[in-house]
Structure 1
Amino acid sequence: MTDTRLNARLWVDAHVRTCHLNHMPAFVVAKGDEARGGILLKVNRFGAGVLTFEQSLNFDGEKIWRRLGPESGEAEAEADARVAKKRAFDSDLWVVEIEDMAAAYAPDAPISDF
C-alpha cells in the first residue's frame, strides 16, 4: 500500500501561506516531526473565542479535523492549556496559530466533534 499523505512540514508551510493570502496571519508556534508530525490548529477569533482542531482520519481513512474544545470557542488561556497538554503528550505535534479577526476561517477538511 502506497502512503499518499502529505509531509507535515510541507502542509504547514502551505497552510500558513494560504492563511496570509486570505488576510489571516498564521504562525507556527511549535514545530513537530517534519514528515509524520500531527497538526493542531489554534484559531484565535479574539472576541468570539478560540477554536482548536486536531488533524485526524475518519473510519474511511479520509482527513478530518477533530474539534478539541467547545463549538462556540473558549478563552485563550483555556485553549493554550489544551494545546500545552497535547504537546506534553506528543512532542512531534505541530501547532499553527491563526489570527481570524473576521471569524471566517474554514479548515480544508470536514470538522468532527468525535
Structure 2
Amino acid sequence: MIEPRLSAEMKVQSLLRLVSQNGGFGAVLKKGDRISGAILIQCLEKGENPKLLENMPSLDGLPNWQQIWPQATDNNKELYEYISQRFRFDPDMWLIELDIPDAERLIAQMGQ
C-alpha cells in the first residue's frame, strides 16, 4: 500500500516554520517543483561553515538526510559551483538555506 506523502513545497514550508519557531532564519534560495522536487538544504551557523544535506533514498522509506558537503575547503566558490552543477542536472530541485545551530536535529524532526 502506498502512503500519501507531503509535497516538496509543504516540506519546505514546514521546515522553514520549524526553524523560525526555534529562533533561526530560513529562506528559499531557489524554488523547485512544487510536488516532487528534490530538496537541497544549505545549513549555516551564524553565516559560517556551510553544510549541504540531501534526502537520500532508503529501503524502509524513512527520511535519510545525509551530509553531502563540506569538502575540505574554505573556498565558497567551490560550493557554489557544486550547487550550480547540481541544478544543471536537476532544475526541479529546491535550495533552501537554514541559519540555526544544530540544523540537522530540526531537519530530522521534519519527517518524510
- Which moves more between the two structures, 25-34 or 82-91? 82-91
Query: Structure 2: which amino acid aligns with 1:52?
Result: L
Partner of 2:4: 4
- Flag the 1:90–1:21 CA change in 2: closer, same or farther, 3 A: same
Gaps of 5+ in 1: 110-114
Task: State the SS of the aligned residue for 1:67.
Answer: strand
For this pair of structures, how many residues does the alignment match?
106
Higher relative contact order structure (alpha carbons within 8 Å, sequence separation ≥ 6) = 2
Q: TM-score, normalised by structure 2?
A: 0.80
Task: State the SS of the aligned residue for 2:34.
Answer: coil
Q: TM-score, normalised by structure 1?
A: 0.79
Match of 2:103 among 99, 102, 105: 105
Larger % of helix: which? 2
CA RMSD in angstroms comes to 2.2
Per-residue CA distance 1:21-59 (angstroms, 9 max, x = gap):
111110000111111110000012234x10001112212
Task: State the SS of the aligned residue for 1:78.
Answer: helix
Partner of 2:84: 84
- Distance across 1 between alignment mates of 2:73 and 2:20: 22
- Distance across 1 between alignment mates of 2:24 and 2:90: 27
- Distance across 1 between alignment mates of 2:26 and 2:88: 22
Percent of residue pairs identical:
24
- Flag the 1:76–1:17 CA change in 2: closer, same or farther, 3 A: farther
Task: State the SS of the aligned residue for 2:56.
Answer: strand
